[in-house]
Chains A and B, each alone.
Chain A
Amino acid sequence: MDWIVQPMAAFDAYGADGDGADTAAEDNCACRGGLTYQCQCTGGLVTCTCVGGLGS
């Protein structure tokens, strides 16, 4: 088996305001999981993009 995205590199369970076990990816996440609906972070693989579900 070869990893493409390792579990630790992937954004952990539910974002920086999630389960209290932040990965390094979460710590580096600009949005800190603060937006109301979606925190779209994929760790070190892709740039962090925060999406407010109802952003005007």
Chain B
Amino acid sequence: MSEYCASRYNHYLKHGGSWIVYNAVSNATAILSEGDCAILRGRKENLAGLADADVREFKRGNFIVPADLDEVEAVRLKLNQIRYSSRTLSLTIVPTMGCNFACSYCYEPQGSSDWMTPETEDAVADFAKNQIARCGYKGVNVTWFGGEPLLKPEVVYSLSRKLMRACKEEKASYSAMVVTNGATLNNTMARRLRRYGVSHLQVTIDGPRAVHDMRRPFRDPSQSSFDTIVRNVERVRERIPIQIRINIDKTNLDRVFELVDMMRAKGWLTGEHACAFYLGYTRVWTPVCASISSQCFSFGEFLDAEIQFQVDMIARGYKPTNLYPRKEALCSAACMNGFVVGPEGELYKCWSDVNNPEGVIGNVREPLTTTSRVLKWLSYDPIEQSSSCRDCGVLPICAGGCPAVAIDQIRTGGRITSCSPWKTRMRKKMDLFLIQSAANRSEPSHSQLLPTDAVDSAEVPVEVC
């Protein structure tokens, strides 16, 4: 075993009297014996003493790695594989900047409410087709965004047809989802969206009626946007999966459970057509919404609020999601395969740049060229540019966080603050996962280990080493 050593991406946690090891490369977790844990934690190059029967499994979990492997470089290789992947062309399409909502925290500059023209639709489809042919993409994934893309769904249908035809001709797969405010949803629309490859919708509801209507009102506020959305979600959720996003800040966090309880009462959270929901981070993405800065959480505060929310969910009998570390892809803004397409066919790399002339990197009608604006994104390398990323134990599951935030912070000499919650809150989050797993009797491998009466024991001491 002298040729192996413990991975630098191992995290050791003491829980319920047992040692747990999590590895950020394999994203796997296992229970260790005291002896094995002592050997691994010693980071001895000579791992003699590990139970022979377990060595193969230790390798499979990446808990031990060849001693001469530069693990940071291995992560860099993975990130580069993603950056230059020819698997999926990722398009976020903004068919209009027009919107019927006036959200208090909207970060998009006010733009024309004109819609993408049929001629631009053709150009977008040609762009996708050329990209597939040139780069060998095996699929195209579209996120419909806005403005509000479903104010005029005919445009979404029309461009979907063109894109699906282009994919068929190039033998590429096609998939899509829609980020919508939900105000115009109906059954016919849901059926047609499914036909046009839309797998699911994301709809934002920010709390009970009074809270939501204050934060996300119609431009004409004579109607309750909350009532409209709730009615529409009720209508369509059996026809198309819906994820509910709840954007939180200091002004509405304490009202979120009123919404969650309502969703449960309406049957939205169980059964075949259950809606998933999650908390979104409200922040000042652009100067457009600078006025909300005082009500926003810092990112750290948001992470703590999210954890407390999950604790409260368990205490209230809900099953929270997102408890286990997830591998986060390098943002498509920092990848060759990711583009945001504006209503006039203009191209951006990042959603937060939409309708900002300084963020435009080209147009679907023109050949792509390498400019400083493109390089700003494609040269983003957290390992090279940030020592805190290079030395970080969760780099493989974080991939450097949001490039839009990190690039700006690196440029100004600041410290990157968009880190994965697992960097600073591994103990609390893994503890919750273990507790919830224990409660889930359908996962016997989990429940063997853990106390089942630990619902209120979010403060069970877990050591992270």
Contact B324 A46 (CB under 8 A): yes
Q: In chain A between 1 and 50, which residues have their CB closer than 8 angstroms to a CB of chain B?
A: 1-7, 9-20, 30-42, 45-50
| Distance, CA A50 to CA B202, complexed state (A) | 9
Q: List A contacts of B26 (CB < 8 A).
A: 7, 10
In the complex, whether B257 has a CB less than 8 A from a CB of chain A is: no
| Distance, CA A53 to CA B278, complexed state (A) | 12
In the complex, whether B58 has a CB less than 8 A from a CB of chain A is: yes
Contact B32 A36 (CB under 8 A): no
Contact A7-B28, Cβ < 8 Å, known A12-B327, A19-B78, A19-B85: yes
Q: In chain B between 138 and 197, which residues have their CB closer than 8 angstroms to a CB of chain A?
A: 139, 141-143, 145-146, 175-177, 179, 181
Q: List B contacts of A34 (CB < 8 A).
A: 88, 90, 141-143, 175-177
Contact A50-B177, Cβ < 8 Å, known A33-B141, A56-B204: yes
| Distance, CA A46 to CA B351, complexed state (A) | 28
| Distance, CA A31 to CA B448, complexed state (A) | 32
Contact A17 B78 (CB under 8 A): no
B29 in complex: contacting residue of A5, A40, A55, CB < 8 Å: A5
A11 in complex: contacting residue of B107, B199, B326, CB < 8 Å: B326
Stretch of B225-233, B291-299, B331-339 with 4 or more beta carbons under 8 angstroms from chain A: B331-339
Contact A54-B399, Cβ < 8 Å, known A32-B141, A32-B175: no
| Closest beta carbon of chain A to B4's beta carbon, Å | 15
B335's nearest neighbour on chain A, judged by CB, is: A17
A4's nearest neighbour on chain B, judged by CB, is: B29
What size tier do the contact residues of chain B reach?
35 or more
Contact B27 A7 (CB under 8 A): yes
Contact A31 B199 (CB under 8 A): yes
Q: List B contacts of A53 (CB < 8 A).
A: 331, 351, 402
| Distance, CA A43 to CA B226, complexed state (A) | 33
Contact B106 A1 (CB under 8 A): no
| Distance, CA A20 to CA B280, complexed state (A) | 29
Residue-wise, chain B 275-308 has the 8 Å CB interface mask toward A (1 for contact) of 0101010000100000000000000000000000
In the complex, whether B322 has a CB less than 8 A from a CB of chain A is: yes
Q: In chain B between 320 and 356, which residues have their CB closer than 8 angstroms to a CB of chain A?
A: 321-333, 337-338, 340, 351-352
| Main SS class of interface, A | loop
| Closest beta carbon of chain A to B17's beta carbon, Å | 14
| Distance, CA A13 to CA B103, complexed state (A) | 36
Q: List A contacts of B179 (CB < 8 A).
A: 52, 55-56
Contact A45 B443 (CB under 8 A): yes
Q: List A contacts of B31 (CB < 8 A).
A: 1-4
Contact A4 B446 (CB under 8 A): yes
In the complex, whether B36 has a CB less than 8 A from a CB of chain A is: yes
Contact B324 A42 (CB under 8 A): yes
Contact B321 A1 (CB under 8 A): no
Contact A55 B204 (CB under 8 A): yes
Contact B449 A7 (CB under 8 A): no
B327 in complex: contacting residue of A2, A14, A35, A37, CB < 8 Å: A14
Contact B351 A11 (CB under 8 A): no
A51's nearest neighbour on chain B, judged by CB, is: B278
| Distance, CA A55 to CA B322, complexed state (A) | 17
Q: List B contacts of A20 (CB < 8 A).
A: 81, 85, 87
A15 in complex: contacting residue of B176, B285, B327, CB < 8 Å: B327
Further contacts, 11 of them, CB under 8 A, given A13-B327, A34-B142, A52-B179: A4-B29, A6-B28, A6-B61, A7-B28, A10-B327, A18-B82, A31-B199, A32-B199, A36-B332, A55-B245, A56-B103
Selected A-B contacts with CB under 8 Å, 22 pairs: A1-B58, A3-B31, A4-B437, A10-B27, A13-B78, A16-B87, A17-B85, A18-B81, A18-B85, A19-B78, A19-B82, A19-B85, A32-B141, A32-B175, A34-B142, A36-B340, A37-B328, A40-B278, A42-B325, A45-B437, A49-B321, A54-B107
Q: Which residues of B contact A (CB under 8 A)?
A: 20, 25-33, 36, 51, 54, 57-58, 60-62, 78, 81-82, 85, 87-88, 90, 92, 103, 106-107, 139, 141-143, 145-146, 175-177, 179, 181, 199-200, 202, 204, 241, 243, 245, 276, 278, 280, 285, 321-333, 337-338, 340, 351-352, 396, 399, 402, 434, 437, 443, 445-446, 448-449
Q: Which 6 A-B pairs have the closest CB atoms?
A: A34-B141, A10-B27, A17-B88, A7-B26, A7-B28, A4-B29
